[in-house]
Structure 1
Amino acid sequence: MPFESLGEYIEALEQAGQLKRVKAKVSPNLEIAEIMRRLMYSDGPAVLFENVEGSSMQVLGNAFGNMKRLEIALETQDFTEIGRRITELTKMKMPSGMLNKLKMLPKLSEISEYGPKYVDNGPVNEVVETDNKASLNSMPVLKSFAGDAGRFITFGLTVTKHPETEIRNFGVYRIQIIDDRHAIMHWQTHKRGAQHYKMMKEQGKKIEVAIVVGADPATVFSAVAPVPEGMDKYLFSGITRKKGVKLVKCRTVDLDVPANAEIVLEGYVDPNDIRMEGPFGDHTGYYTPAEPFPTFTLTGIMRRSRPIYLTTVVGKPILEDAFIGKVIERSFLPLIQMFHPEVVDFAMPAAGWFQGLAIMSIKKQYPGQAKKVMMGLWGMGQLALTKMFIVVDSDINVHDMNDVIWAVTTRADPARDTIIINNTPTDTLDPASPLVNLGSKLGIDATTKWKEEGYMREIQELAVVDEETKALVDRKWPEYFNGT
């Protein structure tokens, strides 16, 4: 059964030996962040801080900081299952004939389980605070680096809905605390929440927002995942966990939030209230400079009576976000293959902070196919922000950088096989782009070249050991080193 809450997940982590409790008093001002970074860099456990200075809330960190914990969180060891469930839904057709329709009933019943379920109340309604009683400073929000402009929420799931279709989205955006009732929403221009905001801004209206802090693991993962355009994120969460999420209505805004959440911050973002946000140390390993972003105004809080504040920290890779990114990479491979069936495998190395570099292997069938795949993937959602693509043949392991480097240096000629495209969208946080949100792309075709692609020499044969010699050495191996 999927986890219904963050608390259930904590219990599972503890039973698996993946959680440590810290009873010593710790400060949310720099100290907790440094402890968490050290744990993340050393493949340490999830950590529950039980005695946080200035707060009655416990703080959970590094909750998804290795693949074992994510296997527990999403109840699978094969994350491509998640993507396959989505592709199966897109391929479904209602069969003809009564018998075939009856055979489809179990599948349709399974799909109906994925949708969200609406309830009147849940644990998140145990405490409701509105007006002057609600305060952003009631939470132990961390300051991560000494040079940061202040404290910011790192793992809030920001819920909005499309102004026309009302399809719901939630994403993870940086939220800088200003005072009891105000924060700054770091909405990167390419993100779906920012698109909803811009649509409301064009109408001269504020946009209602709910920020969920602490939810079941599948819903937290869904916030980070780049789901296909037009898919409701709560449905994606249900597909991920194979069971619909229980939702309740907010009290001061017209939005739905998980009934089993720890904390929900309700409010609106005003396009007429723009403030300078940052600088902050970020996942590139650099401080991002201060920039103008709109202000979130708090109108109410719903929370459990004893909520747990879920948080993470960012910085130079490899930290917790690298493992979440690896799951996204694996779970979205089937979707990539649905649109580009020649793709065999796909990798986004963690050291490249996931938007920096992607490597894909293909089963090459015609000249120029590697460049076709690059162009196609640069046109797919958030992959539009990926700075560099490397395409290799299907005999190369995209997860082995030694194998990839060998392919690049033996199968790519810089003049012939490198493409650079200028003036393209880039990640807002990219420290190297000449302008914010605008830079260039690099593509390297490291596939074996054909004559049609300009390789006029005789194709060289790979030097591989013959099967007869391999079998001989396999058979005699025990004799070589046993002293006989």
Structure 2
Amino acid sequence: MAFPDLRSFIQLLESRGDLLRVAVPVDRHLEITEIADRMVKRGGPALLFEQVKGSAVPLAIGLLGTRERMALALGLPDLEALSTRVRDLMNITMDGGVGGLLSTLPKLRDVASLPARRVKRAPVQDVIWRGDEVDLGTLPILHCWPLDGGPFVTLPLVITKDPITGERNMGMYRMQVMGPRETGMHWQRHKTGARHLANAGKLGQRLQVAVALGGDPALIYAASAPLPPIPGLDEFALAGYLRGQRSPVVRGVTVDLDVPANAEIVLEGYVDPTEAWQPEGPFGDHTGFYTLEDLYPRFHVTAITMRRDPVYPATIVGRPPVEDAYLIEATERLFLPAAQLILPEIVDYSMPPAGVAHNLVFVSIRKQFPGHAYKVAHGLLGLGQMMFAKVIVVVDEDIPVHDFDRVWRAVAQQAVPGRDTLSTRGPMDVLDHSSRAWSYGGKLIIDATIKRPEELGEGLTSRAQGDASAGEAAFTPRPSPILPDAEGILAQRQTPDGYWFVAVNKTRAGQGRALGAELAVSPAARGVRHLLLLDELTDVRDPQDVWWTVLNNIDPERDVWVSDGVLIWDGTRKLREEGFTRDWPQKIVMDPAVVARVDARWHLYGLPGLPEGPEPGATTTPDQERTRTSAG
């Protein structure tokens, strides 16, 4: 099913009981974030806030906030069908003469539906504001988190065209409001929009920009997808393929750019490459940490066009799982066939929410020879934005990569620290705050496949290598360890499968390395394969919180090492005294006063469930949800 616009998708969700309206006035400053964050973490319905203080425009949020809604937005029965559809398209063949060609015609019609379709009139241009009429303050733009630098547009479809090549791009880049007609434009160094701006600078031109809000939900997803550089394939084409019909576009009123004809709102304007970049941020980002203030280009709004009764679409990012987990999962399914085309031994892969997309990748393979796991891992690191992966875990084909706990159990069973772990370096996401240098740092490959004789090497001990043949029975619960009189330990927990989580109050340089060495040789470490040192805010009872913290807070080359057969992960914050030259960001935490206010007002919102957030360890991640569902 194709949705011509956002409102038709909203109507369907409401008819299915998967969208609720909040009729009472709510504050765009933090209150909506707190409500929406609670709902998405529980897998609750999408929300339509009909009265946002200071704006006459209603706000929709969480529209893609479950696996089912994400699939529905793409017109699919489930997200697995996305892989099937792409794989079927890739199997187009010209073999078999006329009969073979005729058999592929339905697929060729799919391909023919890719290009956008130009129209002369569009609902999004029913209302036009120009010049001094433009005021971004009339839109219900969210101030999401307490330490944010201001309100941010969080679900924009930013459209640019390369002034040299004519290449069109639509990406999703956050936009901080800096005035009634100005925003920041968060174009990171690897992004296509940044390249378009650089080329405009070479020609001495302003770069025209259009920002669409809303439209076909498939187009919203397409703007977030990391497309490969294939001529003729852009986000409009991807959306056309996903929706089964060409995306209608209309020429902007002040820019020479095509914009989605059925969007709710469009901001038109320009970025001037000769202008000095302005401070942007901080921002509570999808990593679950604040990204710190930095310099970015400024977007000048020359016109706002909209429907007569627009709906403002928004999302929030923050501690996982939030809505972007389902966009990431759709991207997994979309690119699985392409990854298998290049690396056919891949069975499946997963980017768990705890890894916030780029920090952790699980991949299962049909192993055929010694070193096969490393071959696949290095191959993945060479594929598009997979180059940003920080930790890649390779398992055998019988291990379900979407079962988070099962994969780590396989690591404990099959991966000997030092022998089956490999550090390397490469490009990192610019939002990674722990890397050795900005956008450059260490990576870790873990081979958790069953080893062949050539891979065993010397020094194999029962302590470091679990008995894989014993399966689940290889790990049994044990009593809490008697800890040494070690500095800074606040809380600890050991799991039956050999992981030791230790929260630390870090007060001095080198404390993490010294503590790791001390604990690794203590009697309490008997049976431990992995020792994870955590900051003081981490809940050791919650494996998702533990791994989210560790993966954000390590550069594997610097912070992961082997001591006495134990792999130590130092997930504590790093200090300037340790040679870390950048400021360490804070974890995102909502203002307690806002939490209390939402608790007190919950009965007014008309929403289901208890007002308080989930208990520690009770959060259901998309991976856990999928595992539970598949297990019946």
TM over 0.5: yes
- Does the residue aligned with 2:245 lie in a helix, a strand or coil? coil
Contact 2:422 2:446 in 1 (8 A): yes
Partner residue of 1:178? 178
Alignment of 1:328 with 2:335, yes or no, is no
Task: Go from structure 1 to structure 2 and tell me whether the alpha carbon gap of 1:412 and 1:21 turns closer, same or farther (over 3 Å shift).
Answer: same
Alignment of 1:427 with 2:434, yes or no, is no
Distance 1:357 1:104 in 2: 38
Partner residue of 1:406? 409
Contact 2:212 2:259 in 1 (8 A): yes
Give the CA deviation at 1:165.
3.6
Distance 2:340 2:190 in 1: 24
**Larger displacement relative to structure 2 (261-270 or 158-167):** 158-167
Q: Which amino acid aligns with 1:168?
A: R
Give the CA deviation at 1:402.
2.4
Partner residue of 1:238? 240
Instruction: List per-residue Cα deviations over 1:226-264 (Å, max 9, x = no partner).
Output: 122232111111111122111111111111111100011
- Does the residue aligned with 1:390 lie in a helix, a strand or coil? strand
Partner residue of 2:56? 56
Distance 1:436 1:135 in 2: 35
Contact 1:364 1:370 in 2 (8 A): yes
Alignment of 1:255 with 2:257, yes or no, is yes
- Does the residue aligned with 1:389 lie in a helix, a strand or coil? strand
Distance 1:385 1:427 in 2: 5
Distance 1:103 1:442 in 2: 45
Instruction: List per-residue Cα deviations over 1:369-415 (Å, max 9, x = no partner).
Output: 11111111111111111111000111111111222112111211221
Partner residue of 2:623? none
Q: Which amino acid aligns with 1:281?
A: G
Task: Go from structure 1 to structure 2 and tell me whether the alpha carbon gap of 1:98 and 1:326 turns closer, same or farther (over 3 Å shift).
Answer: closer
Partner residue of 2:27? 27
Distance 2:416 2:107 in 1: 50
Task: Go from structure 1 to structure 2 and tell me whether the alpha carbon gap of 1:461 and 1:280 turns closer, same or farther (over 3 Å shift).
Answer: closer
Distance 2:50 2:56 in 1: 9
Structure 1 stretches lacking a partner, 5+ long: 466-484
Instruction: Kindly report which structure 2 residues correspond to 1:216-295, keeping only aligned pairs within 5 A, or say none.
Output: 216-230=216-230, 231-273=233-275, 274-295=277-298
Give the CA deviation at 1:191.
1.9
Distance 1:352 1:387 in 2: 9
Distance 1:146 1:104 in 2: 54
Partner residue of 2:143? 143
Partner residue of 1:440? 442
Distance 2:160 2:2 in 1: 25
- Does the residue aligned with 2:274 lie in a helix, a strand or coil? strand
Distance 1:89 1:199 in 2: 34
- Does the residue aligned with 1:462 lie in a helix, a strand or coil? helix
Alignment of 1:392 with 2:388, yes or no, is no
Give the CA deviation at 1:201.
2.7
Distance 2:471 2:436 in 1: 45
Partner residue of 1:317? 320
Distance 1:106 1:32 in 2: 45
Instruction: List per-residue Cα deviations over 1:154-188 (Å, max 9, x = no partner).
Output: 00011112334423221111100011111110112
Task: Go from structure 1 to structure 2 and tell me whether the alpha carbon gap of 1:391 and 1:266 turns closer, same or farther (over 3 Å shift).
Answer: same
Instruction: List per-residue Cα deviations over 1:348-374 (Å, max 9, x = no partner).
Output: 111111111000000011221111111
- Does the residue aligned with 1:439 lie in a helix, a strand or coil? strand
Partner residue of 2:110? 110
User: How many residues were matched structurally?
Assistant: 464
Q: Which amino acid aligns with 1:5?
A: D
Distance 1:406 1:23 in 2: 47
Give the CA deviation at 1:102.
4.5
**Larger displacement relative to structure 2 (229-238 or 100-109):** 100-109
**Larger displacement relative to structure 2 (54-63 or 131-140):** 131-140
Q: Which amino acid aligns with 1:295?
A: R
Contact 2:93 2:104 in 1 (8 A): no
Distance 2:331 2:147 in 1: 31
Give the CA deviation at 1:453.
2.4
Instruction: List per-residue Cα deviations over 1:26-83 (Å, max 9, x = no partner).
Output: 1212211121112122222110000111111000011111112112212213424434
Structure 2 stretches lacking a partner, 5+ long: 473-632
- Does the residue aligned with 1:268 lie in a helix, a strand or coil? strand
Partner residue of 1:131? 131
Partner residue of 1:77? 77
**Larger displacement relative to structure 2 (191-200 or 288-297):** 191-200
Contact 1:85 1:239 in 2 (8 A): no
Distance 1:133 1:67 in 2: 40
Distance 2:310 2:86 in 1: 33
Task: Go from structure 1 to structure 2 and tell me whether the alpha carbon gap of 1:158 and 1:464 turns closer, same or farther (over 3 Å shift).
Answer: closer
Partner residue of 2:510? none
Task: Go from structure 1 to structure 2 and tell me whether the alpha carbon gap of 1:98 and 1:364 turns closer, same or farther (over 3 Å shift).
Answer: closer
Contact 1:168 1:234 in 2 (8 A): no
Contact 1:271 1:295 in 2 (8 A): no
Distance 1:60 1:221 in 2: 16
Partner residue of 2:192? 192
- Does the residue aligned with 1:430 lie in a helix, a strand or coil? coil
Task: Go from structure 1 to structure 2 and tell me whether the alpha carbon gap of 1:63 and 1:106 turns closer, same or farther (over 3 Å shift).
Answer: closer
Contact 1:361 1:393 in 2 (8 A): yes
Distance 2:25 2:468 in 1: 64
Give the CA deviation at 1:87.
4.8
Task: Go from structure 1 to structure 2 and tell me whether the alpha carbon gap of 1:98 and 1:40 turns closer, same or farther (over 3 Å shift).
Answer: closer
TM-score calculated relative to the size of structure 2:
0.70
* Higher RCO (CA < 8 A, seq sep 6+): 1
Q: Which amino acid aligns with 1:306?
A: D
Contact 1:272 1:294 in 2 (8 A): no
Task: Go from structure 1 to structure 2 and tell me whether the alpha carbon gap of 1:401 and 1:95 turns closer, same or farther (over 3 Å shift).
Answer: closer
Distance 1:393 1:455 in 2: 20
Task: Go from structure 1 to structure 2 and tell me whether the alpha carbon gap of 1:37 and 1:106 turns closer, same or farther (over 3 Å shift).
Answer: closer
Alignment of 1:344 with 2:347, yes or no, is yes
